[in-house]
Amino acid sequence: GQQVKQSSPSLTVQEGGISILNCDYENDMFDYFAWYKKYPDNSPTLLISVRSNVDKREDGRLTVFLNKSGKHFSLHITASQPEDTAVYLCAAGENQGGSAKLIFGEGTKLTVSS
Amino acid sequence: DMKVTQMPRYLIKRMGENVLLECGQDMSHETMYWYRQDPGLGLQLIYISYDVDSNSEGDIPKGYRVSRKKREHFSLILDSAKTNQTSVYFCASSPGTGPSAETLYFGSGTRLTVL
């Protein structure tokens, strides 16, 4: 089964609004959680990540919330802008001596309309 | 310049032919990965390599093998390609140490079509 799941394949948000992207995972050994952004015909790039010892991390307009008991994490983008339009991939993994065998979700296509 | 380089960018092969996808990185990263991306499935891990000759299967290794003889190079081999291996293949590397140990740096991808 899918170990990391993004249940919403797409999301549309008005410019200036808050985009909320969700991700669920199955393996409670996962201790590293990340969000990657991907433009069409480009490679994914890391947006923000968090380890399991915190339940929230902010970086500018981005905030990751981690709910370990619910095996769920989310990405909030405030003041959404048209350039935020992209596919967002969540990823989770277990840190194994520095590396993590990252498992990705299916992706959510975010469209920010002006 | 921190970079993961994949060659070729586009490739068309016939069913049954052998395929070699190459990946290089100039960051001395220990860990390297091969993923494939298909519509609706996101990125699926094929193989992970923790260092030279230290490779481990990912979630979908069947039909693939890998080779890592130098830290900076990681190859993906398809022996006798099948049409269901048509996909976009991404190579990635991660530092393995430090505060960003788990951060993946991706190559630009190889779009493989097997006819």
The CA-based dihedral angle spanning residues B111, B95, B64, A92, taken in that order and rounded to the nearest 10 degrees: -90
Range of the domain at B75: 4-114
Alpha-carbon distance A61 to nearest alpha carbon in chain B (angstroms): 20
Q: What is the DSSP string of A76-111?
A: EESS--GGG-EEEEEEEE-EETTEE--EE---EEEE
> What letter represents residue A6's amino acid?
Q
Would you state the pLDDT for residue B82?
97
Min Cα distance A64 → chain B (Å) is: 16
- The stretch B68-81 carries a mean pLDDT of 96
Cβ neighbours of B59 in A, within 8 Å: 103
If you average pLDDT over residues B49-66, what whole number do you get?
Answer: 94
Task: For residues B25 and B29, give the distance between their C-alpha atoms in angstroms, rounded to a whole number.
Answer: 7
For A55, the domain range is: 4-113
Per-residue pLDDT of A17-35, as tens digits, reads 999 999 999 999 999 999 9
CATH code for the domain in which residue A44 is found: 2.60.40.10
Q: Is B53 on the interface with A (CB under 8 A)?
A: no
Burial group, residue A30, by CB count within 10 angstroms (0-12, 13-18, 19+): buried
A97 vs B49, which has greater pLDDT?
A: B49
Alpha-carbon torsion, ordered A91, A4, B93, A88, to 10 deg: -50
pLDDT at B76: 97
Q: What CATH number does residue B76 fall under?
A: 2.60.40.10
What is the C-alpha to C-alpha distance for residues A43 and B3, in angstroms, rounded to an integer?
A: 12
Contacts of B104 in chain A (CB under 8 A): 36, 44, 46, 91, 102
Residue-wise pLDDT for B6-46, tens only, equals: 988 999 999 999 999 999 999 999 999 999 999 888 899 99
Q: How many domains does chain B have?
A: 1
CB contacts, 8 Å: A44 with chain B: 43, 90, 104, 106
Instruction: Name the phi and psi angles at A18, rounded to 5.
Output: -100, 130
- The count of domains in chain A is 1
pLDDT class for B1, splitting at 50, 70, 90? low
Under-50 pLDDT residues of chain A: none
Looking at residue A1, its pLDDT comes to 58
Write the pLDDT tens digit of every residue in B97-113.
777 888 999 999 999 99
